Structure 1
Amino acid sequence: MFERDYLIRLLAQAGLALGKAMGLRQQQKHKEALDLIDEFLGRELRLRSRLALGLTDEDLLNMLSVTGTPNAESVAVVAAFLQQEADLLSDLGRTEESLPRYAKALRLNLYILRNRMEIEGWDVRPRIDEILAALAPYEHDAETKKALWLWHESEGRLAEAEDLLYELQEENAVTAAEGEDFYDRLSKLDDSALEEGDLSRDELEEGRRQWAALTKENAS
């Protein structure tokens, strides 16, 4: 009960703080908004955005875990504040600082969706759309592409997932086994699910053959 009450309060307080930060942004008080974000994360989660960026996604999720499982509410709050901070930095023309914040926020939100971590009153999908729009002019880094690859698969956008698999292969960011596992998962779907994902059974099998030939060639 104590933990549930804490999480409800965390989301409520986060909503208020995000609202204040947005108000400060509209008033062109960007430094004050950035200070507010840093202060909130430090007080509520004992975390600073610089620390969140310095940690791998896995280490950050472990830090936000309770009994070995990442806490959905905490992950969502960190993602929201990283996104808000990225917006503020983008306004200031500090693109090199904003982009990694957008990317980290995106990956955290995608993690929530992929793992079906429902959060009452907190929908991450609009936030994902906003971040993707902000990142649209830029090339995604390999780590973010990999998160998008898994997300497209989980959402049934199979042709898009396959395209990203080959992009990741070109960047040496995915293993042959990961690609094989991808095709194995898709082969277990029925034909209607494949068609809905813009991938026919024949296209799936051709993709599997191409993947096997490509990875064999690269290994030799």
Structure 2
Amino acid sequence: MLTTTAPVHDVQVTDTIHRGLAGRDLLPAEHFVDSGYTEARVLVSAQRDYGIEIVGPVQGSAAWQAKGEDGFTQESFTIDWQAQEVSCPNGKRSRGWSDSTSQTGAAVIRVWFSINDCGPCAVRSQCTRGTGRIGRRLTFRNREELEALRKAREEQKTNEWRRRYQTRAGIESTISRQRRDPARLPLRRHRLRRKPGRADRTGIQVHRRPAAGRRRRPRQERQRRGTGREEPRRPGTR
């Protein structure tokens, strides 16, 4: 188990988990995860560096072309890796190929088509909504990562993959049952190791924070109730 701060995304710690398991000689052949761990880079690196097959749902394309039945997604294009060219469903070839970097720092390939080909195309509405000087644009990962991603997307459509992934559902149901009835299934017996400093102070503050919507009594009233004695009156008051 690995605990991190809230802003750390799941996929950022997958390699750390595998490295820790490798150090203890506990590497599994399969790692059943949820969609937060199934980035293309992780699919490749886990298999290459540790011999682990990542089994989990891979997110589909978020492009508008993927939302309709007749849209041309990346899978509709043919990539010639040797010539560094891409062919569209209508037979037109790309005019540019460039190695680049995504917003998250991942290495990607950017491809674009000529407006002279895309402008008069009869199926343009199924492919691009661009109105500039460049036609359809594509951004995809390197060959190894792209092929791993496409393979995972195809496999998760099969009944065999769904049957394998039921293992993950069984684990989740066991944890859920333990949370509801810890007396019958005492699995979460472990010591909490706190680091000195901010972690301890934060934990204390959380336990001392009053519940939402609860009226906080004045300090004098809390003092009287805590000691059982009436607080002395100040001079000049009744």
**Class of the TM-score when normalised by the shorter of the 2 chains:** under 0.3
Whichever structure has more strand as a proportion of its residues is: 2
TM-score in terms of structure 1 length? 0.25
Q: Tell me the TM-score normalised to structure 2 length.
A: 0.23
